[in-house]
Structure 1
Amino acid sequence: MLAASCLLSQDQFLCSICLDVFTSPVTIPCGHNFCKSCITADWRINRKCKCPCCKRLFDLIPELHVNIFIAEMAAQFKQAAVKDVSEIAKPGEVSCDFCTGVRLKALKSCLVCQASYCEIHLQRHQKVSGLLRHKLVVPLDNLEDRICSKHGELKELYCKTDQICLCHFCSETDHESHDVVPLMEASKGKKAELGKMKVEIHEMVQERKLKIQELRQSEKLSREAADRQIADGLQIFTALTQFVETGMSELTEQITQKQKTTAEQAEDFITELTQEISELVNRNVEVEQLSCSEDHLRLLQSLSPLKASLPTKNWTDISLRQPSYEGTVARALAQLKESLSQRVEELLKAELKRVQQYAVDVTLDPDTAHPKLILSDDGKQVNHSNVVRNLPDNPERFSFCVVVLANQSFSTGRSYYEVEVKGKTKWDLGVISVSANRKGQVISCPEAGYWTLQLRNGNEYVALADPDVLLSVKSQPQRVGVFVDYEEGLVSFYNVDSADIIFSFTGCFFTENLCPFFSPCFNDGGGNSAPLRISVVHET
């Protein structure tokens, strides 16, 4: 069959209406063949049953049946056509808009029809007189965008003035005085821009890949830190639970032992009383017998011994001693509290030791110091003086508040430093944003970029949190530790001597570098003359 089909021309299997290889071919009574859909549509449009080839009219619409033989031959021709791989449109090539199934390469594009045609579907434009006047060009995709909607011509020029594509008619009318160049010339410059853009895109992709790695690493570190904290917390609270369970067990044992002693005493009394009752019952029987006896000698001889054998113990004043449970629970709680306090103190010291590993070297920045502040040569100490030094009023310097910042700042990770406050009745410590206001009266609160703690009147500790928080401090710190976790949004203040947390700012959102903040406050005529001193961190 295939060999025979090769002797036939493909034109013999083309529908004269659609000029394509038959699809569901039918034979009408005159003997001509057409696609079933083509002839049916032709008769419907013309409202006559006439053969498009021989013009024969039919009175009635013939019953149409698919010609199986011609359909098989047409299918073989279609398969033979697509076997030539070179005719099949590849990615990036313009394909025929009218091919169904496998799409062939377009041979021409029609500017009037705004469609592209392969060799087979182009035949109508080469045979039909009305289509011969259409303008055919090399195959182009996206024809609607390439054709000028005003003049119907290809856009082959580029207006640099308005940065749009034009046809020749547009360049001679609306853009006559503009800088117009051919598309090829304009695209050369754009290709250079595309080259730069390609490099930029590649760099952006690489940056984002690196950021993904960074985020994954950060998430991994966060997960590991969380696992460690959970394990530490579990260990801590397991130990505390054991303390409580041990205390409860000892309390229960103590109360139970008292109750057991009381129960044993009661049982001894009951046993003794039961025995005396038994003896009395026996004596009563003897008394009854003597009472009924007529033997006077026996009665007189037995009475005295009978009286002597009666129990002599006086039970009137004997009672069960009730144990005292008052204070047992209180004493147990006091002992538990002492044990827990010791354990909590150990845990707090362990926590402080953990943050102390993030210790950083901090020195004072003289360019930020208020003119009444005196800094040591090593930048580790500051105190207040009544003398105003003649210093330049640079933007970094505090002009009203007696404050100095550190040379260092924090923008990531965790940082810790300690300040000696011994002998002072007033001070302010903490961190501030680098852009926080330093001129005039300063409002110290997180909204203004200040996360600070202050001491007033020797024993009043206040966290400036807006509203301020008055703190209860168990013991007055001689050294204050400041811990910053930038990503966690945490600023904590520690009493280094007792390892207690004085206060923590939590849930903060930092967007700028944070600078350590120091204010020794006014010396108050010598009452607050002790300096603030940045001390060396020694692990607790």
Structure 2
Amino acid sequence: MTSTREDLWHILECLTAEQFKNFQWFLKEEDVKNKFPAIAQARLEGADRQDTIDLMVQKYRPSGAVQITMKILGKINRNDLVQDLSNKSNEDHKISAALPCEDETRRAKLREMKARIDLMIKDRQMKICEVRRTAELSRKSAERQTSDSMRAFEALVASVQSSLDKLIGEIDEKQKMTQKQAGGLIQQLEKEIYELNKSSEEVEQLTKDQRDSLPSFTNEMLTEARFPQPSYKETVISTVTQLKEKLSKDMEMFLAVTELNRLRQFAVDVTLDPDTAHPNLILSEDGKQVHCGDIKQTLPDNQDRFDQVINVVGKQSFSSESFYYEVQVKEKISWDLGVAKESINRKESIKVSPENGFWTICLRAGKYKASRVHLSVGSQPRKVGVFVDYENRSVSFYNAESAELIHCYTDCSFKEKLRPFFSPGTLRDGQNSTPLIICPLYHNYQI
């Protein structure tokens, strides 16, 4: 797009010298009708075409300069140039009219670019929050680990000190006994020396004839006065062996507690889904407790509800992140806990196994089982922790109070969402009415 000055310059270049002189003459006259004031004669004298255009644009602005040029061109019979200038003006007007659209397109692109930049800023702000949160969790984890380590090492030092005190006490007691035995022997030997000295004096007082008739004297009493050096080796070895075994157990316990506290960082808030609960199951209002009732309730038979087995799953589902939760099982004689695929069959009685989408452990008749495996449990758990490790494809179960690992499923196939799985077991002659209780968890939880 050319400028107005360029368009006017091309037009005035087409005028002859005489026509240009006439053109300037009309500029000296005021056009009252169209409100174009005159340009002073003194300013036009000696002005060439370019100077004249500058004076017109300065006096009438670009649009006014075009209008007065077209009027004067008509007066000097150069209507051909009027048409050319009109065409140029119309073309420029069309281009100018198109500019807002181009400007709007540009503004739209700028808005889009700004929106993308704002989104990028928001993503980075969220990342900063995530990093800060992770750093804060790391700081709290470090504080917990330091605190746990200090307690553990204080306990270990106390064990060592206790064992040392016990060893010193045993050595001291043995030494006292040795000293007592030595004192007794010394006293006996001193008594014998006294008796021997007395005998010696009596021998010296004997006559020659009496000395010749004395029997021979033996050293039997002295041979019985042997005193063995006491040994503390067995005491030291026994104490050190016991200390080593205790420290080994204490370290295993410390590492187990540390690991379980680490897993508690993945704690999630789990609530029971009433739409999946078997009609015999009674859920608390907050969705944290469940037990089996003796009356089958009338409930909507939706596709998600278990209707053949006494089961219920959690509302929350997990598809990629690791998670941990704990359930109180004390005073119960039968229960199942774990996780299950979201697509498990809920309308038929099927075997609870990994092949069918279940990773659980259960208590039956005092025995613990995981699918077809009988479990050896050190102490009967009152709380059970369940941890799903997506990265390592495993499901682990812990005694949440002793930190003992009860069982671990490995090489699990997590190809869909998982839900926490619960079965409080059926009532048996009025027993097993105690509910399963989902425990609240805090990141500063300690055993």
TM-score normalised by structure 2 residue count: 0.51
CA gap 1:237/1:432 in 2 versus in 1, 3 angstroms: same
Alpha-carbon RMSD: 6.1
CA gap 1:259/1:419 in 2 versus in 1, 3 angstroms: closer
User: Which residue is 2:52 aligned to?
Assistant: none
Cα displacement (A) at 1:283: 8.6
Counting only pairs closer than 5 Å after superposition, residues 89-168 of structure 1 correspond to structure 2 as: none
- CA distance in 2 between counterparts of 1:190 and 1:327 reads 94
CA gap 1:251/1:492 in 2 versus in 1, 3 angstroms: same
User: Which residue is 1:42 aligned to?
Assistant: none
Q: Are positions 1:428 and 2:336 aligned together?
A: yes
- CA distance in 2 between counterparts of 1:418 and 1:356 reads 13
1:262·1:322 contact (CA, 8 Å) conserved in 2?
no
User: Which residue is 2:16 aligned to?
Assistant: none
3-state secondary structure, aligned to 1:530: coil
Cα displacement (A) at 1:517: 2.0
CA gap 1:339/1:537 in 2 versus in 1, 3 angstroms: farther
3-state secondary structure, aligned to 1:422: coil
Cα displacement (A) at 1:251: 4.3
Q: Are positions 1:418 and 2:327 aligned together?
A: yes
Q: Are positions 1:480 and 2:413 aligned together?
A: no
Cα displacement (A) at 1:485: 8.3
Counting only pairs closer than 5 Å after superposition, residues 429-468 of structure 1 correspond to structure 2 as: 429-432=337-340, 434=342, 438=346, 440=348, 441=350, 444-445=353-354, 450-456=358-364, 458-463=365-370, 468=373
- CA distance in 1 between counterparts of 2:309 and 2:229 reads 70
Please list the CA deviations of residues 488-539 of structure 1 after superposition, one character each: whole Å capped at 9, or x if unmatched.
989765556x55545375999999876432113455x648653534277699
Task: Report the identity percentage.
Answer: 26
CA gap 1:226/1:537 in 2 versus in 1, 3 angstroms: closer
User: Which residue is 2:55 aligned to?
Assistant: none
Out of 378, 381, 389, the residue aligned to residue 290 of structure 2 is: 381
Please list the CA deviations of residues 423-476 of structure 1 after superposition, one character each: whole Å capped at 9, or x if unmatched.
42x31113445566656536544x8765532112x2222345xx85723232x3
Please list the CA deviations of residues 232-286 of structure 1 after superposition, one character each: whole Å capped at 9, or x if unmatched.
3421331232133224313432453355346544587479769978997999999
3-state secondary structure, aligned to 1:314: helix
Counterpart code for 2:310:
V
In structure 1, stretches of 5+ residues that fail to align are 1-183, 291-295
Counterpart code for 1:365:
D
User: Which residue is 2:310 aligned to?
Assistant: 402
CA gap 1:420/1:252 in 2 versus in 1, 3 angstroms: closer
Q: Are positions 1:518 and 2:432 aligned together?
A: no
Counting only pairs closer than 5 Å after superposition, residues 474-513 of structure 1 correspond to structure 2 as: 474=379, 476-477=380-381, 479-482=382-385, 493=397, 495=399, 499-501=402-404, 503=406
Out of 277, 284, 293, the residue aligned to residue 369 of structure 1 is: 277
CA gap 1:241/1:506 in 2 versus in 1, 3 angstroms: farther
Out of 113, 122, 125, the residue aligned to residue 207 of structure 1 is: 122
Cα displacement (A) at 1:213: 0.4
User: Which residue is 1:68 aligned to?
Assistant: none
Cα displacement (A) at 1:196: 5.7
- CA distance in 2 between counterparts of 1:197 and 1:469 reads 62
Counterpart code for 2:150:
Q
- CA distance in 1 between counterparts of 2:206 and 2:105 reads 153
Q: Are positions 1:314 and 2:229 aligned together?
A: no
Q: Which has the higher contact order (CA 8 A, sep 6+)?
A: 2
- CA distance in 1 between counterparts of 2:135 and 2:206 reads 110
Counterpart code for 2:406:
F
In structure 2, stretches of 5+ residues that fail to align are 1-98
- CA distance in 1 between counterparts of 2:317 and 2:123 reads 27
Aligned residue pair count:
337
Counterpart code for 1:459:
G
2:159·2:247 contact (CA, 8 Å) conserved in 1?
no
- CA distance in 2 between counterparts of 1:403 and 1:297 reads 111
Cα displacement (A) at 1:220: 1.1
- CA distance in 2 between counterparts of 1:377 and 1:238 reads 43
3-state secondary structure, aligned to 2:278: coil
2:278·2:305 contact (CA, 8 Å) conserved in 1?
yes
User: Which residue is 2:376 aligned to?
Assistant: 471
- CA distance in 1 between counterparts of 2:229 and 2:206 reads 51
Cα displacement (A) at 1:209: 1.0
The structure that is helix-richer by fraction is: 2
CA gap 1:383/1:515 in 2 versus in 1, 3 angstroms: same
CA gap 1:391/1:315 in 2 versus in 1, 3 angstroms: farther
Q: Are positions 1:530 and 2:441 aligned together?
A: no
Cα displacement (A) at 1:208: 3.0
Cα displacement (A) at 1:368: 0.6
- CA distance in 1 between counterparts of 2:193 and 2:434 reads 89
